[in-house]
Amino acid sequence: MKEPEAHIVVEDLTMAFGTNIVQQNLTFTINRGDIFIIMGGSGCGKSTLMRHLVGLHRPCKGRVLYDGISFWDGDEEERQRVLRHVGVMYQSGALWSSMTLAENIGLLLEEYMGVDTEKAREVASLKLALVGLAGFEDYYPSEISGGMKKRASIARAMALDPDILFLDEPSGGLDPISGRMLDDLILELRATLGTTIVVITHELASIFAIGTNSVFLDTDTKTMTASGDPKVLRATCENDTIQNFLTRGEGRVKQRAERNGVAACLDQRAKVGG
C-alpha cells in the first residue's frame, strides 16, 4: 500500500447557527481513496458538517483544506474549481423537481462536459442503471418513491465522475437489499475510479462493511469524540456513547436504565433531580 495522501483536511472547525453552536473543534483528515464515515446521533450536526465541507456554510472558525488549499480563504472562482470535482447527494434527495431524472443528470453533463443532449441522455441512463433505476429516465422526481429519489440523487452526484463524493444518509429509507447494493456500488466506485467517498450514515452493517475511516460527532459535548477505522473503534474505544452507538446499546456497557427496573430508575431520577 502506498502512503495515504490527505485529500480533505479539517482543522479546528467550529460550526454555529447564530449563537447556537452545533459542533466545535473538529479536526480530522480524509485521505484519498478513503470511505470516510461521519456518524453520530440524529441532530448532532452531520448534515451541517457536510454543508460546511461543500461550501454552503462558512465556518465560524477553523479551516477546510482541499489538497492543501484552504477552501474558504480563496475567492468564489477558486471554490467553484474545487466543487467541480465534488459530487453531493443531499439527505432529502434535492432532485430538481421540474426536470426528469435524465434531465437532472444531463444538465450537469451538458453544462460541464459540453456534450449534446443525446449523449447526455445516454450517460444519464448509464448512471441510473448503476443505481438500479434503469428505465426511469423520463420519470419526474415526484413520481418515484423516497428510496428511489435517494438513488437517483446518488446517480446525479456521480454524473461528472467526481473525485470526492458526499453521500448524506444514502441508505436511509432503502430496503436491506438495496442498501446492500448501494454498499457494493460504493466499494466499486472506490476500486475502479479511486473516488474518495464521504458517507453520513447510521446503518451499522454498512459502517462496518465499507468504512475505512470515520469520525464520531457527539451531541452532548458538541465535538468529535473519536475518529479512526470504525471496526477498530468498536474493538478498542472506551467511550460509552460510542460503544453504545456502534453496538446499538447492546455492547460491553449495559445501559444503566434497564427496562424492567423502572421503579429503581424512577427513584434514582427523582433523587438526582429529574
Partner 1 sequence: MPGIHEVQGEIERGPSLRKLGFDSKNLDFWDSGFVSFLIRVIRICGERDIEVTGEGLPEGAQRLIGLALAVPERREPGKDEKITPSLVLVTGGRVMKIWASLMETLTFVGETATAFLRLFGGKARFKGSDFLLVVQESGAGALPIVSLISLLVGLILAFVGSIQLRMFGAQIYIADLVAIAMARAMGAIMTGIIMAGRTGAAFAARIGTMQVNEEIDALKTAGIPPMEFLVLPRILALALMMPLLTLYADLMGILGGMIVGVGGFGIGLVEYFNETRKALTLANIWIGLFSSLIFGVLIAVAGCLRGMRCGRSASAVGDTTTSAVVTSIVSIIIATALITIGCDVLGI
Which positions touch partner 1 (CB under 8 A)? 19-20, 51, 54-56, 80, 83-84, 86, 88, 90-97, 107-108, 111-112, 156, 257, 259, 261-263, 265-267, 269-274
Question: Per CB under 6 A, does 145 bind ligand ADP?
Answer: no
Q: Cell numbers for 62, please give them.
A: 477553523
Question: Per CB under 5 A, does 239 bind Mg ion?
Answer: no
Neighbours of 165 (CB within 10 A): 24
Binding mask 6-45 vs ligand ADP (x if CB under 6 A, - otherwise)?
-----------x----x-----------------x-xxxx
CB nearer partner 1, residue 232 or residue 266 = 266
Cα pseudo-dihedral 201, 138, 158, 92, rounded to 10: -30
CA-based angle 20:26:29, to the nearest 5? 150
Beta carbon of residue 11, minimum distance to Mg ion (angstroms, whole number): 23
Number of residues that this document lists for the chain: 274
Phi, psi (degrees; rounded to nearest 5) at 198:
-110, 120
Question: Per CB under 5 A, does 91 bind Mg ion?
Answer: yes
Beta carbon of residue 198, minimum distance to ligand ADP (angstroms, whole number): 13
Q: Contact, 168 vs 91, CB < 8 A? A: yes
From the list ligand ADP, partner 1, Mg ion, none, partner contacted by residue 83 (C-beta under 5 to 8 A by kind): partner 1
Q: Contact, 174 vs 93, CB < 8 A? A: no
Provide the binding-site residues for ligand ADP, judged by CB under 6 A: 17, 22, 40, 42-48
